[in-house]
Amino acid sequence: MLSETDKKHLRVAYDEAKAGYDEGGCPIGSVLARGDTVVSQGRNQRVQQGDPIAHGEMDALRKAGRQKTYKDTTLYTSLSPCMMCTGTIIQFGIPRVVIGENKTFGGNEDFLRSKGVEVIVADDPDCIALMTRFIEEKPELWNEDIAED
């Protein structure tokens, strides 16, 4: 079950995803939060910056700067995280991830859980609709993002 705080932060992640879509990029947004407080937020910047590892989660974490600990944080992401972002979540010891949707891309929820991360999938209709629209409109860009031919 999503708390009101979860819903609020997930909406910010969606808004970041929508901003990325509007810029011509991949619509994936992310927020790093400590309770009610947003530490940072970001979006997939692969197209905008020409950076192959500038995924939404990576952008939010980069913008957070150095943190003494992540053990009291939650990472919100509009789309299930890829293996690169999953590895970063585990590396930094982020204990909780709230995912907007995993219908369009089944990430690594089971792997995160196997490493002790609490994973919540919201099945957010706005996140699903935005990613579905993007995949239909720009399948070549989506395949590039997930490294498929």
Say if residues 61 and 83 touch (Cβ distance below 8 Å): no
Known active-site residue 57: yes
CA-to-CA dists, residue 95 to 35, 42, 78, 82, 122, angstroms: 13, 19, 17, 17, 17
d(CA 117, CA 138): 32
Q: How many CB atoms lie within 10 A of CB 120?
A: 16
Q: Which residue has the tokens 């989506």?
A: 142
Q: Kindly provide the residue ranges of all beta strands, DSSP E only, lying in the chain, ordered along the sequence.
A: 29-34, 37-43, 74-77, 96-99, 118-121
Q: Give me the phi and psi of 66, to 5 degrees please.
A: -70, 135
Give the active site residue among 4, 16, 23, 57: 57
Q: Which residues are catalytic?
A: 57
